[in-house]
Amino acid sequence: MSSKTSGCLIALLVLALVVSLGLNLGQVMGKMDIDWGDGVIHPTAHPKKKLSETTVQEAAKTTRDKIVHIDLDGIISSMEVSGFFAEAMPSVDSIKDALEQASKDKDVKAIVLRINSPGGEVTASDILYNAVKKAAKEKPVVVYMDAMAASGGYYVSCGATKIVASETTLTASIGVIIETLSYHELFGKVGLGMQTFTSGAFKDSLNGARPMRDDEKAYVQNLVTQMYDRFLGIVSEARGVPKDQLKNVADGRVVTGRQALEAKLVDQIGYVEDAYALARELGKAPDAGVVKYRREVSFFDVFAAAKAKQGQQAKVQLDVGGGLLPKLMPGVPYYLPSTYAH
CA separation for the pair 296, 280 (Å, rounded): 28
- CA distances 105 to 50, 68, 160, 170, Å, are 11, 10, 18, 33
CA separation for the pair 16, 187 (Å, rounded): 62
Q: Are 310 and 317 in contact (CB under 8 A)?
A: no
The set of residues, in sequence order, having a beta carbon less than 8 Å from that of 188 and lying 6+ positions away, is none
The active-site residue out of 117, 151, 157, 173 is: 151
Q: Phi and psi of 186, rounded to 5°?
A: -65, -40
Known active-site residue 151: yes
Known active-site residue 203: yes
The active-site residue out of 137, 203, 217, 309 is: 203
CA separation for the pair 288, 281 (Å, rounded): 10
CA separation for the pair 267, 155 (Å, rounded): 15
What amino acid positions are annotated as catalytic residues? 151, 203
